[in-house]
Amino acid sequence: MDQKRVLLIIGGGIAAYKAPELVRQLKAQGLATRCLLTAAAEQFVSPLSLASVSGDKVYENLFDLTDEAEMGHIQLSRDADMILVAPATADLIAKMAQGLANDLASTALLATDKPVMIAPAMNVRMWEHAATQRNLAQLAEDGIGIIGPDEGDMACGEFGLGRMSEPAEIAQAAKAMLAQTPARDTPLTAAKPLAGRKILVTAGPTYEPIDPVRYIANRSSGKQGYALAEALAALGANVHLVSGPTALNDPKNVTTKRVETARQMLDACTACLPVDAAIMAAAVADWRPAEAQEAKIKKTKSGLDDLKLVENPDILATLSGHASQRPQLVVGFAAETNDIENYAREKLARKKCDWIVANDVSQNSGIAGGVMGGDDNQVHILSTTQTLQWETMSKTAVAAKLAAHIADYFAATKEHE
């Protein structure tokens, strides 16, 4: 009775061939799926195979009068707990951004008051096109979840961003989105559980100058923090991201401030207070040269022998211990290579934060490409009262799940207010 239902809209791209596998993965997450094919999608995947994996009728054409009589397009979207669009082609994304409704897929999307998530898939040039990016920004602003696309080889022979995320990841992200959605038939505004909350996120490394050309840094890419900032914004939070130097674009619907050093990061964070929550995902350099030299240090025999290091301020501990403006929820990250849980628990106590998100950054963590800089992550969430261990998933999926966990926390504290 309680099984949540997904209306899967399959767009007309080569990635549509993965739709039956996606239905299987949704089933593995305990979700029931009803499929709706656009006219172009029928060229890539057979309705019959979708009917057999989903165990349900497959919907195809707006003007099928029998269906309209039996099950109108409004009912089709009302019957689902969420709509998942995968693959979301550039054309479907453009229609959604414009609010067009000229076929069954776009009509169902316009008629819904349930959460919607899209998994884009297209050629890299189409993905990068200003029109597509403009449309995506609009969808993000409308509160639509976006998973992927991933980078890789494409059917068209090019390489780049545009591959649809793997079905297992999409299914996990859909499950996470549903986990934070309100009970059936509650209004759409309730799908923004963090509306009215101001959340500070730090991300990326810091650069600590040695001289005008050299600096101390680390391998943090910023991906996890950026994904989290975007996921929190998608849940309605007013997100302020303070980022060290990264190669990433500013996340959507987030106020981003770029800094270089730990001290600048601390200043930018304190300038942001008060906030409801502070999520410190940055890999702040622990040490900095006591004095940055104004001229480039020459490569002499004594080299950097004179390089003296001093400790950087601990931003997390500073916010946790803030006398007048401590955020209600302070979350730290811990990158460990061994004995993760013990170190994380010790860090929780020492930094006086509320949760630690711990991950294994050792080379043998089993995650392709490693955690630092890679696309996947496996985390434990520790608080003084519980430890959660989540399976390996993409950083986007970790972000969606963590954002939902934060929304649950605020929903629970609100009940006690």
Please give the residue ranges that form the binding site for ligand C5P (CB under 6 A).
202, 262, 280, 282, 284, 286, 312, 314-316, 332-334, 347
Q: Which is nearer to ligand C5P, 138 or 218 (CB)?
A: 218
- Tokens 């401590």 appear where? 326
3-state DSSP call for residue 73?
helix
Return the H-helix or E-strand segment holding 413. Answer: helix 395-416
DSSP state, 18? Answer: G
β-strands 145-146, 116-120 pairing: parallel
Q: Which is nearer to ligand C5P, 49 or 256 (CB)?
A: 256
At closest approach, how far in Å is the CB of 266 from ligand C5P?
A: 8
At closest approach, how far in Å is the CB of 361 from ligand C5P?
A: 10
- Residue 251: asked if its preceding bond is cis (omega within 30°), the reply is no
Q: Which is nearer to ligand C5P, 165 or 246 (CB)?
A: 246
Specify whether the CB–CB gap between 237 and 194 falls below 8 A.
Answer: yes
At closest approach, how far in Å is the CB of 262 from ligand C5P?
A: 5
At closest approach, how far in Å is the CB of 197 from ligand C5P?
A: 20
Specify whether the CB–CB gap between 212 and 294 falls below 8 A.
Answer: yes
Return the H-helix or E-strand segment holding 403. Answer: helix 395-416
Q: Which is nearer to ligand C5P, 176 or 282 (CB)?
A: 282
Active site residue 156: yes
At closest approach, how far in Å is the CB of 318 from ligand C5P?
A: 8
At closest approach, how far in Å is the CB of 353 from ligand C5P?
A: 8
The residue at minimum Cβ distance from ligand C5P is 315
3-state DSSP call for residue 351?
helix
Q: Which is nearer to ligand C5P, 230 or 314 (CB)?
A: 314
Return the H-helix or E-strand segment holding 150. Answer: strand 150-153
Residues of 149-163 as b/e, b for ≥16 C-beta within 10 angstroms? bbeeebeeeeeebbb
β-strands 198-203, 355-360 pairing: unpaired
Q: Of 368, 117, 377, 369, which is closest to residue 225 (Cα–Cα)? A: 377
CB atoms within 10 A of CB 198: 18
Q: Which is nearer to ligand C5P, 6 or 265 (CB)?
A: 265
- Tokens 């013990």 appear where? 342
Where does residue 1 rank: exposed (0-12), middle (13-18), buried (19+ CB within 10 A)? exposed
Catalytic residues: 156
